Amino acid sequence: MPVLRPQRQLLSPLNSTSPATPRLGLATNQTGPQCLEVSVPEGLFLSLGLVSLVENVLVVAAIIKNRNLHSPMYYFICCLAVSDLLVSVSNVLETAVMLLLEAGALAPRAAVVQQLDDVIDVLICSSMVSSLCFLGAIAVDRYISIFYALRYHSLVTLARAWRAIVAIWVASSLASTLFIAYYDHTAVLLCLVGFFVAMLALMAVLYVHMLARACQHARGIARVHKRQRSTQQGFGLKGAATLTILLGTFFLCWGPFFLHLSLIVFCPQHPTCGCIFKNFNLFLTLIICNAIVDPLVYAFRSQELRKTLQEV
């Protein structure tokens, strides 16, 4: 059993270019000294995880406390916060365990460490998949609220929202278990990458369509009130900026990790791909950053939720 290093091993087999590499070992990188490797200090990683933990706990507490927030939209936001919270907790837990093992505070029993690693990997993978699913669910919910406003409450009922939430959690748990069990199969990696691309495409199409409808609505209001064209342009720029933040944050935080998975399939031994593999810890840090940004984008912009947070 290889000795653990203080290196985040989210889905530890994925930080390897060969299925034969031990699950808890370091990745084999066939790269030269010219490769750029961004080092992420353990203290910074743990600090980001704690910030994410506090933010998402506050979101969950506010939604539970305020009955005015007991609606499908806020339930999806609450579940997104829980998913992000689990991403942070599981990564911080794994890092803390590895640091304790390095310091000799824990006895490195191979069987126990292996089981703990498997459990944490499944938890991390499940929380990641569910986080992507709830981001898509929030986009669909907002799309229906805009394009089917009169039928929204009959289409998106609490019962249907709860069924969707349960289905997402069950599917995420099953998918993550299968993924960890069969991580060395190319088809499994491609399915996970395809899932990310599908979520990105879904969010892009829905939000772009919503932005186009909002701009059309703004032009109609401007014609009625005979406002200047600069007002319309200002609204369009604001909407485009919001859309850029939504999709840009999603792509920048999640994209590198799924690029890592893609390169494991297509060029596991190429030196250039090896350079990218060396920055695996940076990709995990970006996912933690996404868990910090999500409450700012989806939750804290709500005046009702901010008011409840002040009371909490």
Average pLDDT of every residue of the chain:
77
Would residue 104 be called left, alpha or beta, if left means φ above 0 and alpha means ψ between -120 and 50 degrees?
left
Which run of H or E residues covers position 50? helix 42-65
Tokens linked to 304: 């009702």
Confidence of residue 218 (pLDDT cuts 50, 70, 90): low
What is d(CA 312, CA 54) in angstroms, rounded to the nearest whole number?
13
What is d(CA 210, CA 231) in angstroms, rounded to the nearest whole number?
19
Report the amino acid identity of residue 112. Answer: V
Please identify, in words, the CATH class of the domain defined by 40-223+236-311: mainly alpha
CB 83 within 8 A of CB 127: yes
pLDDT at residue 165, as a whole number: 95
pLDDT at 160 over 50: yes
Judged by DSSP in three states, 171 sits in helix
Q: Is the pTM of this model over 0.85?
A: no
Query: Within the chain, how many helices (H) and strands (E) appear?
Result: 10, 0
Mean pLDDT of 154-171: 93
What would the pLDDT profile of 91-105 be if each residue is shown by its tens digit?
Answer: 777 777 777 777 766
Mean pLDDT of 128-137: 90
What would the pLDDT profile of 269-301 be if each residue is shown by its tens digit?
Answer: 877 788 888 888 888 888 888 888 888 888 888
Q: How many CB atoms lie within 10 A of CB 188?
A: 18
Tokens linked to 97: 């365990």
pLDDT at residue 22, as a whole number: 30
Nearby residues of 300 by Cβ (< 8 Å), 6 or more positions away: 59, 306, 309
Minimal CA–CA distance to 181: which of 19, 1, 69, 3? 19
CB 11 within 8 A of CB 119: no
pLDDT at residue 185, as a whole number: 80
Minimal CA–CA distance to 186: which of 118, 266, 271, 255? 266
pLDDT at residue 133, as a whole number: 92
DSSP state of 104: T
pLDDT at 141 over 80: yes
Dihedral through CA 48, CA 49, CA 51, CA 55, nearest 10?
A: 140
CB 133 within 8 A of CB 168: yes
Domain segments of the chain: what residues?
Answer: 40-223+236-311
pLDDT at residue 137, as a whole number: 92
Confidence of residue 234 (pLDDT cuts 50, 70, 90): low
Mean pLDDT of 95-117: 69
